[in-house]
Amino acid sequence: MTFLVGAKVEDATPTWPARLSGFAARRGLSIGAHDPISVRALAVDDTCLICIDVVGLDDETCAQIRASSPFADDHVFVAATHTHGGPAVMNGHLGTYDREARQLIALAAVRAATGALRDRQPATLEFADAGPAPVATDRRRGGRPAEARMQALRWKSEAGTTIAWLATYPCHPVVLGPNNRLFTGDYPAALRDRLEEVAPGSIAVFATGCAGDINVGHNAAASFSRAADLRRTFEEATRIGRLLANLVLNANWCAIAEISPTATRTEPVVLTTSPLDGRSVEMQRTEWQAQLDETIDEGHAAVLAEWIAWSATARASTKSSWVGSVSVVRWASVTLVFLPGEPFLQTAVEIARHSVSTACLVLGYTNGCPGYLPPADAYGDGGYEVTDAHRYYGMPSPFSQGCAELLRDRAVDGMRELEGVSPRA
């Protein structure tokens, strides 16, 4: 099967001290860059995936990029890698944002898409499942989930050289913690560098899988403090990125030989939020203020200040839902599912079980990132993702129980249609 494939990278690193996003405990502007903040576009026939080194993208920015790209609106998929070392570009979410940085990444995304389209050439496709890696950890229950698999696609030119890679892994890029004030792509940056090092002239794109409950070995609360953690270093990010890349390079690759046209389907989705209890919010505000008056931990104080600021907007909010979409793309016998927000790994596993394709890649953080989307059985356990994270995301309350299942069902319906399977009963 021959595709028309092109890829392009644009540097969108702010050259000024800019706000970073990803940790409520972090204070201060950026002081430089360890890695470029890259915007990478992969064009496959008439579809385009754009991956940006930021923690999240609001739906307005994603819509702006899609409308300005040279591709049809519903054939463009704009994803955040979810690095916690990127500029703050979400208006009203994840802390105070930098307007100029947002414009920088939006313009870079359009340039990257335009360049990828221009550079397309005939290419064949290969797939590799490198299996579980000794990196991803279930940060809510502990242990290394076997379902957190390293997967990759590779396109080769008619001359046999690698044009582009698409690698995906369901694990939070949070090796670097709230003390870091250097721009970084975290471990995906090292992963991409390694793949490109082995195939000079190629462009590696990384898309984060459904990693809402998966990270590199610490729980979510560990990021509330600015206490030094010797494990959260650039050296460790490089080690993890290269380890994952080497798994890809050493995997068994299979050629995708099926002949079928590229196809897409996008399903709208309305995700409701839990009813807001104004009295409870006021009680929490009083409690947070008392804790803020007593704490000596600067990271904890920053988090409390964030929650107190949220309480004022939450009480005034009338928002009770978020409107987004779920997209499915089929490249011959490879299916990609694009989900918004931060779904848990379980959701991706349940979607992939319904696929009859040679490969099914389920990605998160795409076309909008309004917050965590835990499966229904996670609500009873509480925890940051269920009860707290909505405040940093600027949402009035958590998403309602059942939203993850709604995403799953929309994805499965679209996938079955593209794969030619009978709809669910």
- Averages of pLDDT over each 10 residues, the chain, 425 residues: 93 97 88 97 98 96 97 97 96 84 98 98 96 93 92 97 98 94 98 98 98 87 68 95 98 89 93 83 86 82 83 73 94 96 97 94 96 96 90 89 97 92 65
Domain containing 407 equals 266-323+357-419
Residue 247 lies in a domain: yes
Identify the pLDDT of residue 280: 83
* Tokens coding 335: 């299916």
Residue 337 lies in a domain: no
Identify the pLDDT of residue 423: 65
Among 259, 282, 299, give the residue marking a domain's end: 259
Among 259, 278, 304, give the residue marking a domain's end: 259
Identify the pLDDT of residue 84: 95
Helix axes 234-249, 187-198, angle to 10 degrees: 40
Residue 328 lies in a domain: no
Distance CA 425, CA 421 (A): 12
- Please count the CA atoms within 13 angstroms of the CA of 417 that sit on its side-chain side: 14
Between strands 342-343 and 372-373, the pairing is parallel
> Rounded to whole angstroms, what are the CA distances from 405 to 110, 145, 182, 377, 388?
33, 20, 37, 11, 21
Distance CA 34, CA 134 (A): 25
Between strands 47-52 and 38-44, the pairing is antiparallel
Q: What is the chain's Cα-based Rg?
A: 20
User: Is residue 254 domain-shared with residue 273, that is, in the same domain?
Assistant: no
Grouping H, G, I as helix, E, B as strand and the rest as coil, residue 161 is coil
User: Is residue 284 domain-shared with residue 175, that is, in the same domain?
Assistant: no
User: Is residue 82 domain-shared with residue 142, that is, in the same domain?
Assistant: yes
Residue 386 DSSP code: I
User: Is residue 26 domain-shared with residue 169, that is, in the same domain?
Assistant: yes
Question: pTM for the complete prediction?
Answer: 0.95
User: Is residue 75 domain-shared with residue 216, that is, in the same domain?
Assistant: yes
CA dihedral sign, ordered 27, 28, 33, 39: positive
Residue entry with tokens 């290394």: 144
Identify the pLDDT of residue 316: 62
C-alpha closest to that of 332 among 419, 416, 244, 402 = 419
Residue 33 lies in a domain: yes
User: Is residue 75 domain-shared with residue 127, that is, in the same domain?
Assistant: yes
User: Is residue 363 domain-shared with residue 249, that is, in the same domain?
Assistant: no
Domain count, the chain: 2
Among 241, 259, 277, give the residue marking a domain's end: 259
How wide is the angle at C-alpha 186 spanned by C-alphas 379 and 87, nearest 5°? 85
Identify the pLDDT of residue 258: 77
In this structure, what are the phi and psi dihedrals at residue 144, rounded to the nearest 5 degrees? -105, 110
Identify the pLDDT of residue 1: 64
Residue 82 lies in a domain: yes
